[in-house]
Amino acid sequence: MIDRARRGRRVVLEAACGAALLLGALVCGGAVGAGAQSAPVKSPAAAKPSSTTKPSSTVYRDVYNGWKWWHVYCYRCHGVNGVGGVNAPNLIGQNQKLTRAEFLKIVREGREDKGMQSWKALLTDTQIGQIYLYARARKEKVLPAGRPDEVGPNHTAWVPPSGWPPK
């Protein structure tokens, strides 16, 4: 009886390990096993060493992540689409001409005199930069109002306007 129970547990364990290996192969997009070798992955930076601009997929991911952070921290005061409200200004209006550095400083340190708290304890500079890209994309009409698709407009690759975001 004990041998049958052990064999049963071993079969279940082997099946679970096999499923885990298969899942790992699917997630990683490659073969998994003792002799498996994968082709080297070229980073976007390695593909174009002379270019200082980010690939459009990376820019869109940053814009999308900015939207996510916006909806965690910013929308309550600045509105769902950045148009402002009673408590905070419109961040996508024509009068908003904040540079990235100014935006980072304001979000990091806050504006106590205007009722805005400091966000440096909750947001990293990368996250604040992503929020800036989202607000800028909305302001410059690169991104329409509403929830952006996670992978790109209409689930297709996103192609930003030439030269966007400008430095």
Q: From the first residue on, what is the mean pLDDT of each consecutive set of 10 residues in the chain (167 residues)?
A: 53 44 37 37 35 72 93 91 86 81 95 93 96 92 86 78 81
Q: Which residues contact 19 (CB under 8 A, 6 or more apart)?
A: none
Domain ranges of the chain: 56-155
Bond from prior residue into 165 cis (ω within 30 degrees of 0) = yes
Beta bridge mates, 116: 111
- pLDDT of 92: 85
Classify domain 56-155 by CATH number.
1.10.760.10
Contact 31, 25 (CB under 8 A): yes
